[in-house]
Amino acid sequence: MRTEQPKTIYLKDYQAPEYWIDETHLTFELFEDHALVHSRLNMRRNEQGAGQSLPPLVLDGQLLELVSVALDEQLLQAGDYQLDEDTLTLQPAAAAFVVAVTTRIEPQHNTALEGLYQSGKMFCTQCEAEGFRKITYYLDRPDVMSRFTTTVIASRDYPILLSNGNPVANGEEKGGRHWVTWEDPFPKPAYLFALVAGDLCLIQDSFTTMSGREIDLRIYVEPENREQCGHAMDSLKRSMRWDEEVYGREYDLDIFMIVAVNDFNMGAMENKGLNIFNSSCVLAHPDTATDLAFQRVEAVVAHEYFHNWSGNRVTCRDWFQLSLKEGFTVFRDSQFSADMNSPTVSRIEHVGFLRANQFAEDAGPMAHPVRPDSFIEISNFYTLTVYEKGAEVVRMLHTLLGEQGFRQGSDLYFERHDGQAVTCDDFIKAMEDANGADLGQFKRWYSQAGTPRLAVESRYDAAKGTFSLLFRQSCPPTPGQSEKLPQVIPVRMALLDREGKELPLQFEGEAAPVGTERVLAVAGAEQVFTFTGLTEEPLPSLLRGFSAPVKMSYPYSRDDRVFLAKNDPDGFNRWEAGQALALEMLQGMIGIHQAGRPLLLDQRLRDVFYALLTDRELDPAMVAEMLRLPSEAYMVEVSEVADVDAIHQVREWVRGELANTLADVMWPLYRDLDDGAAYSPDAGSMARRSLKNTLLSYLMLTGSQDAVDACVRQYVEANNMTDRQAALVCLVNSDFEKQKQAALADFAERWKDYPLVMDQWFSVQAACALPGGLVRVEKLLEHPAFSMRNPNKIRAVIGAFANQNLVNFHAADGAGYRFLAERILQLDPLNPQVAARLLTPLTRWRKYDAARQELMKAELARIMAASSLSPDVYEVVSKSLA
């Protein structure tokens, strides 16, 4: 919290550090009401560009009480150094020297969950991006890499004392205190530092690496969570094997640890050898976690593990390069998830998420390039653009260079830059050098914000037997970028005949056809590709697998889309065609609804659904995806002016209509799938549960007694959380008041001692679109299990309401907006990072009608007017109002 105007930091101002820190020796003394941190830094001048005189040493530090500072063993007096709100400045007298600092901090009062803090009874740290400066004075920037040795001293109430690397010594102190020393042989930036102290139980396993080294794998959790670690451990072992097989990356320390904490701002953190996780991303048991939660644990464990190479061994030069590690690592974890599950379904889920959320960010006031040019608070740039769009950019490289070329590029990148802090340009350069490719134009994906539009048209010349595809690309302006240049857009495609078979592809000028699927690299603002040798007009299947993060349009007729939804050999594009068909119909009906005319359902959607429901050969997980209508969030994103009430009502009406007219085929399928089989976590069983629960949600819309009976029975008899929670969601969103209240009461009683399960109980209710949402949410805030100190609870109640409950949040009187603004103002002094994240739905005000725009802006203005806003909230609010 500060009084002066927060400063903007620019990429163009980057300068190499004046000093290096070769070695960092830390000793932590942990007490019940404070901690003492003693550091000893072996420092050396950066020779590069060194002039005659030694520049001052400016160390970062925030919210620290300086106890003592010494230079080359000489204790300094007040006049020997300068101290201000975020720096400590010394004047070294030699090119190599030792700085020793002692600071006093209060982890017990650290509600921001950055630096050293307490979660429950345990001490833990979170240092990325700039949290280490809340522990001690340091060069807290990722390009300063140092070898760390850490000693932790605490009372015996904290039997487990952990830090990065390997334990090298331990001992007893008088007064029941003990200590452990850890040594990390790999130089690392301070953001990868970690420390944990607590009374934790250990789940242990081992892994033999490709070169035959045995790694000690450890998961530490609070004793009551012991039974919920099996899936994380299994995911870890599979991740380690996968990274060896797919990227040739072997683990490098002798021990790998994961610790689960309940209070955590994000999902998890890749600290070297000591990953710290939000418990929601580690714990999973069939009774307490849904299939989706199981998949999330698998993906996050993999993500953090993969960072050991993409992030830790090769790290970022500065925080503008964040996507260097995050985009690449999200791409890697998505490849892993695809390999572990159904590749098509997993791609569908990723793309659905990206389009509903990242596209909205890219169209809003916080839009920024994958490599931003400036920021006020770096915590605000852990965004969907840096992570998800960044991963799409890496995926496009993979598509353009091919599996092998990409692997050669990543091998060269890791070999060339091992132990270095580098830039996105270095990553691209390795890809270029390994492939002899020129990616100069491709790099615009890193510097230009906004979602490109790709308008496609075709021309068939029956006389010549040619088919031309004409591509036109453009990109809307974003803050600070009014003009955009064309980017390289890889379009994976095929041409289909009347049976849906892929035709051989032959470009004009080619002697013979080559394959039936190709990647067209669209580089110009306008570009034509012409195929020859065609005897009938083909139907193009374009942007397969969503080969580029763009908004593509092609003048398909509804019949074309029906045909593709049933026949495209590419599973992803079958789904895409079905979604596009549904979206087009929904959009048309919204206009009709707004005009006050009665709704009618185009029978073609029903026919596609009928075909899906009656073809028992299809993968149930795919059928479930295809039966899902485009989400409300995505419908908002594609609207000029989003009418959330109309979107919700029309979408629900269509769902009801489909349920009523297809109940006869849905029932037998539901009953087949609801076979009472013993629970199994395998992909096939998950697929069956997914389809079963999708059907249940449709059947409940018929409002029949049979449906509610089936739902209650499923709730009561479920042998896993996926089925139980799905039934609860249906009941909560229904008008069967008695059954709803009974299920909610039962659920709360059953799971009152399981905070993560109570998060589900909260979010199911907070997201319920029935009238009266705000009143229900305000009541949830009073529930004893709710806490403003726990980010998971905030997300489960306030986050679910503002992000998933569009009709209630956007209530015309603005009460939802006011509620959110008040909660943000209440949270900002406690936890600015989470407060700033909660602002997202208010930043989207330009999407709504004039009256709502005014109400949303008024709340933003009210936040802006509050005294002593954090830089985090200040940045998002000021940019949203600009």
Which residues belong to the active site? 304
Half-sphere CA count of 682, side-chain side, radius 13 A: 5
Asked if residue 433 lies in contact with residue 530, where contact means CB atoms within 8 angstroms, the answer is: no
Q: Which residue is nearest to ligand PHE (CB)?
A: 266
Structure tokens of 411? 């091998």
One DSSP character per residue, 358-423 reads IHHHHTSTT---SS-SEES-GGGG--HIIIIIHHHHHHHHHHHHHHHHHHHHHHHHHHHHTT-EE-
Main-chain dihedrals φ then ψ at residue 96, nearest 5 degrees? -130, 135
3-class secondary structure, 773:
helix
Structure tokens of 101? 């600092």
In 3D space, the residue among 208, 266, 218, 278 whose CA is nearest the CA of residue 241 turns out to be: 208
In 3D space, the residue among 349, 238, 287 whose CA is nearest the CA of residue 621 turns out to be: 349
CB neighbour list of residue 501: distance below 8 Å, 6 or more residues apart: 569
Q: In whole angstroms, how close is the CB of 310 to ligand PHE at the nearest point? A: 11
What's the CA angle centered on 358, arms 352 and 361, to 5 degrees? 145
Distance (Å, whole) CA 378 – CA 880: 17
Distance (Å, whole) CA 19 – CA 138: 11
Cα dihedral 420, 424, 430, 432 in deg (nearest 10):
-170
Q: In whole angstroms, how close is the CB of 303 to ligand PHE at the nearest point? A: 6
Contact segment (CB under 6 A) with ligand PHE among 35-43, 227-235, 266-274, 570-578 equals: 266-274
Residue 837 is a binding residue for ligand PHE (CB under 6 A): no
The partner in contact with residue 625, picked from Zn ion, ligand PHE, none with C-beta cut-offs of 5 to 8 angstroms by kind, is: none
Q: Closest CB to ligand PHE among 377 and 723?
A: 377
**Which amino acid is residue 488, in one-letter code?**
V
Distance (Å, whole) CA 194 – CA 707: 51
DSSP letter for 133, please: G
Query: How many residues contact Zn ion, by CB under 5 A?
Result: 2
Asked if residue 369 lies in contact with residue 446, where contact means CB atoms within 8 angstroms, the answer is: yes
Q: Closest CB to Zn ion among 329 and 714?
A: 329
CB neighbour list of residue 366: distance below 8 Å, 6 or more residues apart: 380, 383, 843, 876, 879, 880
**Which amino acid is residue 662, in one-letter code?**
L
Contact segment (CB under 6 A) with ligand PHE among 99-107, 260-268, 587-595, 648-656 equals: 260-268
**Residues numbered 324-363 forming contacts with Zn ion, rule: CB under 5 A:** 326, 329
Q: In whole angstroms, how close is the CB of 126 to ligand PHE at the nearest point? A: 5
Residue 807 is a binding residue for ligand PHE (CB under 6 A): no
- Binding test (CB under 6 A) with ligand PHE, winner from 101, 215, 268, 718: 268
Q: In whole angstroms, how close is the CB of 271 to ligand PHE at the nearest point? A: 9
Distance (Å, whole) CA 16 – CA 420: 13
Strand partners, 125: 116
The partner in contact with residue 266, picked from ligand PHE, Zn ion, none with C-beta cut-offs of 5 to 8 angstroms by kind, is: ligand PHE
The partner in contact with residue 290, picked from Zn ion, ligand PHE, none with C-beta cut-offs of 5 to 8 angstroms by kind, is: none
Q: Closest CB to Zn ion among 313 and 810?
A: 313
Residue 337 is a binding residue for ligand PHE (CB under 6 A): no
Burial of 881 (0-12, 13-18, 19+ CB in 10 A): middle
Q: In whole angstroms, how close is the CB of 265 to ligand PHE at the nearest point? A: 6
The partner in contact with residue 269, picked from ligand PHE, Zn ion, none with C-beta cut-offs of 5 to 8 angstroms by kind, is: ligand PHE
Q: Closest CB to Zn ion among 315 and 843?
A: 315
Q: In whole angstroms, how close is the CB of 270 to Zn ion at the nearest point? A: 6
Residue 196 is a binding residue for ligand PHE (CB under 6 A): no
Contact segment (CB under 6 A) with ligand PHE among 117-125, 267-275, 716-724, 791-799 equals: 267-275
Structure tokens of 687? 């697929």
Distance (Å, whole) CA 505 – CA 499: 17
Structure tokens of 678? 């013993």
Distance (Å, whole) CA 159 – CA 156: 5
Alpha helix segments (H runs only) across 805-870: 806-809, 815-827, 832-838, 840-843, 850-865
The partner in contact with residue 632, picked from ligand PHE, Zn ion, none with C-beta cut-offs of 5 to 8 angstroms by kind, is: none
Distance (Å, whole) CA 734 – CA 764: 12
**Residues numbered 287-306 forming contacts with ligand PHE, rule: CB under 6 A:** 303-304
Q: In whole angstroms, how close is the CB of 298 to ligand PHE at the nearest point? A: 14
Q: In whole angstroms, how close is the CB of 319 to Zn ion at the nearest point? A: 13
Q: Closest CB to Zn ion among 29 and 128?
A: 128
Q: In whole angstroms, how close is the CB of 529 to Zn ion at the nearest point? A: 37
Distance (Å, whole) CA 376 – CA 748: 42
Distance (Å, whole) CA 529 – CA 452: 19
Q: Closest CB to ligand PHE among 191 and 294?
A: 191
Distance (Å, whole) CA 241 – CA 215: 12
The partner in contact with residue 869, picked from Zn ion, ligand PHE, none with C-beta cut-offs of 5 to 8 angstroms by kind, is: none
In 3D space, the residue among 309, 305, 307 whose CA is nearest the CA of residue 417 turns out to be: 309
Residue 382 is a binding residue for ligand PHE (CB under 6 A): yes
Q: Closest CB to ligand PHE among 266 and 397?
A: 266
Sign of CA dihedral 512, 518, 524, 530: positive
Contact segment (CB under 6 A) with ligand PHE among 117-125, 264-272, 565-573, 810-818 equals: 264-272
- Binding test (CB under 6 A) with ligand PHE, winner from 266, 586, 721, 743: 266
Distance (Å, whole) CA 142 – CA 652: 49
Residue 270 is a binding residue for ligand PHE (CB under 6 A): yes
Q: Closest CB to ligand PHE among 329 and 714?
A: 329
The partner in contact with residue 382, picked from Zn ion, ligand PHE, none with C-beta cut-offs of 5 to 8 angstroms by kind, is: ligand PHE
Burial of 832 (0-12, 13-18, 19+ CB in 10 A): buried
3-class secondary structure, 522:
strand
Binding mask 96-135 for ligand PHE (x = CB under 6 A): ------------------------------x-x-------
Asked if residue 491 lies in contact with residue 520, where contact means CB atoms within 8 angstroms, the answer is: yes
The partner in contact with residue 128, picked from Zn ion, ligand PHE, none with C-beta cut-offs of 5 to 8 angstroms by kind, is: ligand PHE
Q: Closest CB to ligand PHE among 126 and 321?
A: 126
Q: In whole angstroms, how close is the CB of 260 to Zn ion at the nearest point? A: 17
Structure tokens of 495? 């041409």
- Binding test (CB under 6 A) with ligand PHE, winner from 60, 298, 318, 326: 326
Q: Closest CB to ligand PHE among 162 and 582?
A: 162
Query: How many residues contact ligand PHE, by CB under 6 A?
Result: 11
Q: Closest CB to ligand PHE among 304 and 568?
A: 304
Q: In whole angstroms, how close is the CB of 763 to ligand PHE at the nearest point? A: 21
Q: In whole angstroms, how close is the CB of 86 to ligand PHE at the nearest point? A: 19
Residue 333 is a binding residue for ligand PHE (CB under 6 A): no
Asked if residue 715 lies in contact with residue 731, where contact means CB atoms within 8 angstroms, the answer is: yes
Distance (Å, whole) CA 640 – CA 633: 13
Q: Closest CB to Zn ion among 118 and 310?
A: 310
The partner in contact with residue 126, picked from Zn ion, ligand PHE, none with C-beta cut-offs of 5 to 8 angstroms by kind, is: ligand PHE
The partner in contact with residue 426, picked from ligand PHE, Zn ion, none with C-beta cut-offs of 5 to 8 angstroms by kind, is: none
Judged by the rule CB under 6 A, the positions of this chain that interact with ligand PHE are 126, 128, 265-266, 268-270, 303-304, 326, 382
Judged by the rule CB under 5 A, the positions of this chain that interact with Zn ion are 326, 329
